[in-house]
Copies of this chain bind each other. A is one copy, B any other.
């Protein structure tokens, strides 16, 4: 049995805890957070603790905390002489730790959304062979998608994820605002949003591109621009249109 102590009580900690619950060879034996109040979700499911000096011995300390404090917590755990891993998409592999690792689930976690962990890609890294083996075994307990990714690649992935996740979601927000102004229910767009994401599961997005920009349909582009009253939104329309035209010229 692989004994895990999780540090943190946020979305990543909560979802990883849930994912490990179904595992037969890994067990979360303790969850730490500096505020005891944040640990209520875990309280009846495992041991909880808000004193860093009272951590149990474990095979893996999994730091699910903000980038700013990862280093600090890692240095406090160093004496444990066991695997210390973090779950950040952008923080580098911990240095000066005998066995350090990264266990990065590439997904956007909301506290209450139910997720199918089997389809979440886990991006792993370690400074030792046995470390990567341990993380791989653990990740495969949870997910079908397990990748060994170095720190530089992980930072690139994190950047790419901002484009497909944060920026796409902002496009949805802009569309919702555009609809609201004309009393159109945003619901009408939901099937299209899903189909857009579905289509590239089997086809390169480069080949899936449609719309007035890729057709160089300037009549429609000009009409669209005349429909947009918000200066910022018009800039986004213009920049995307130019970028698409340039890409497919």
On whether the beta carbons of A179 and B197 are closer than 8 Å, the reply is no
Residues of the B chain whose Cβ atoms lie less than 8 Å from the Cβ of A45 = none
| Assembled-state Cα–Cα distance A187/B164 (Å) | 12
- By beta carbon, the residue of chain B nearest A112 is B203
On whether the beta carbons of A193 and B182 are closer than 8 Å, the reply is no
On whether the beta carbons of B165 and A168 are closer than 8 Å, the reply is no
Instruction: Check A129 for interface membership: any CB of B closer than 8 A.
Output: no
Chain A: interface residue count, which band? 35 or more
List which A130-163 residues lie within 8 A (CB) of chain B. Answer: 145, 147, 149, 152-153, 155-163
On whether the beta carbons of B178 and A163 are closer than 8 Å, the reply is yes
Instruction: Check A69 for interface membership: any CB of B closer than 8 A.
Output: no
Instruction: Check A25 for interface membership: any CB of B closer than 8 A.
Output: no
With A191-B145, A192-B108 known as contacts, the answer to whether A168 contacts B166 (CB < 8 A) is: no
Instruction: Check A218 for interface membership: any CB of B closer than 8 A.
Output: no
| Assembled-state Cα–Cα distance A228/B156 (Å) | 9
On whether the beta carbons of A107 and B192 are closer than 8 Å, the reply is yes
User: Residues on A close to B: CB < 8 A?
Assistant: 67, 90, 106-108, 110, 113, 115, 119-121, 123, 145, 147, 149, 152-153, 155-176, 178-179, 181-201, 203-206, 208-214, 219-220, 223-224, 227-228, 232-233, 235-237, 239-240, 242-244, 246-247
